[in-house]
Copies of this chain bind each other. A is one copy, B any other.
Amino acid sequence: MRDGTPRTRAELIQLTGLARSTVGTRVDALLAAGLLAPSGEAASTGGRPPARFAFNPRARVVLGADIGATHSLVALTDLNGTVIAERAEQLDITLGPRLVLDSLVRTGKALLKSAGRTRQDLAGVGIGLPGPVEHSTGKPAAPPIMPGWDGYDVPAHVSAGLGAPVLVDNDVNIMALGEHAAVYPHVEHLVFVKVATGIGAGIISSGRLHRGAKGAAGDLGHVAAPHGGDALCTCGNLGCLEAIASGPAIVKALRTQGIEASDSRGLVDLVRAGDVTAAHAVRQAGRDIGEVLATCVSMLNPEVIVVGGILAQSAESLLAGVREVVYGRSLPLATGELQIVAARTGDHAGVLGAATMVIQHVLSAEQIEVQLASMAG
């Protein structure tokens, strides 16, 4: 029903091959849950016209939260992922999980209130965090820039405050989900690359997020870069891609050339203002990222590579470097129709993806069964 087309009970029986009694029970339960709503009447074939029902995206709401190193964005959406209300805040991740998540719970309650919705309307909460997360438990796993968060039970904390199921993933996976859902819903294979304070990737394989065995997939930043040399990385290894091509790495390299950028934002501003040295440095970072991405293209053969994160806003410099190397290195079959493009959802990729993650979960067949069973019981 999620395509939005209104249908009658008879049409559903014919479409699904399910028994009349099964369809009847489910439609009644979904009506009671508000997920279906009456939608006008079908063309009469004589007698009382049969009722039509349609998916009701406003039946429930979802909270999506994108928590970064120093800021957070929280959005309340409907079940189609359309944003109803949102709030951006300065929030330092190093304050630790209790303070940060308490703040998230307060913001969530405020957004619900502002939209005239209650906690009973809340179908779930999706959270993106700037570090590795074991998705199955929602616990951060040794995140480098999040002191105090290792193994913390994020879902328990937030669920206690908001009374709804909570799903957690790393920021890049949710950005990939958001960009894919909003811009490339029909693309089967996509790689989303975030270039900011860190470097990471989210992989869509056959239309679904590829999280890997422990949720650690997409860890592009700590791959050994061909020109990584002995650059010291925050992870303790030498020569990681992140140690030479992230925002802070470029800022540091420019400083040795006498060019001062405050941070990644300052670096982007320099490039946009036409600073040639800064533009060269960003383009070289794009080449370094491209060398690792070329391996990913050979291995994964994606249709689209999306480059996001704040450094993707530096005019075309970053993208040009990535394209130069990837198109030059990979074999024709893999690059013939490959698009390498800048992210289009911008600051909203994360919250859209966090909401998408929850919506896919609560509207999955298994979850619907669980909900119907608990209502029937």
User: Chain A interface (Cβ within 8 Å of chain B)?
Assistant: 13, 17-20, 22, 132, 134, 141-142, 188-189, 201, 203, 205-206, 208, 210-220, 222-224, 226, 235, 237, 291-292, 294-296, 298-303, 329-334, 336-338
**A214, A222, A292: most-surrounded residue (chain B CB, <10 A):** A214
Can you identify 27 A-B contacts, CB atoms within 8 angstroms?
A13-B19, A17-B18, A17-B19, A18-B19, A19-B19, A132-B331, A142-B333, A203-B299, A205-B210, A206-B206, A212-B300, A213-B302, A213-B303, A214-B301, A214-B333, A214-B334, A215-B301, A216-B331, A217-B300, A219-B298, A219-B301, A222-B330, A222-B331, A223-B299, A237-B329, A295-B295, A299-B300
Residues of B within 8 A of A337 (CB): 213-214
Q: Is the CB of A212 within 8 A of B189?
A: yes
A334 touches B216 (CB 8 A): yes
Cβ-defined contact, B206 with A189, below 8 A = no
Q: State the CA gap A218–B331 with chains docked (Å).
A: 12
Q: Which residue of B lies closest to A25 (CB)?
A: B17
- Residues in B with CB closer than 8 Å to A329 are 224, 237
The 4 closest A-B pairs by CB, nearest first: A212-B301, A213-B303, A19-B19, A217-B301
Which of B294, B333, B338 is close to A224, meaning CB atoms less than 8 Å apart?
Answer: B294
CB distance from A73 to the nearest CB of B (A): 26
Please name all residues of chain B whose beta carbon is closer than 8 Å to the beta carbon of A219 when the two chains form the complex.
298-299, 301, 331, 334
Shortest distance between the CB of A229 and any CB in chain B (Å):
12
- Does A334 contact B300, Cβ atoms closer than 8 Å? no
A296 touches B294 (CB 8 A): no
- Taking a contact as CB atoms under 8 Å apart, the answer to whether B296 and A299 are in contact is yes
Q: A292 — nearest CB in chain B belongs to which residue?
A: B295
**Given contacts A19-B19, A334-B219, A224 and B301 within 8 Å (CB-CB):** no
Please name the residue on chain B nearest to A190 by beta carbon: B213
State in angstroms the CA–CA spacing of A303 and B213 once bound together.
5
Q: What is the chain B residue whose CB lies nearest that of A215?
A: B301
The distance from the CB of A355 to the nearest CB of chain B, in whole angstroms, is 22
In the complex formed, the residue of B with least CB distance to A334 is B216
Q: Are A223 and B294 in contact (CB under 8 A)?
A: yes
Bound-state Cα–Cα, A219 to B329, Å: 12
> Are B19 and A336 in contact, CB atoms less than 8 angstroms apart?
no
Question: Which of B141, B206, B295 meets A205, CB within 8 Å?
Answer: B206
Point out the residues of chain B lying under 8 angstroms from A205, CB to CB: 205-206, 210
Nearest-CB distance from A185 to chain B (Å)?
Answer: 16
CA gap between A213 and B339 in the complex, in Å:
11
Q: Are B299 and A214 in contact (CB under 8 A)?
A: no
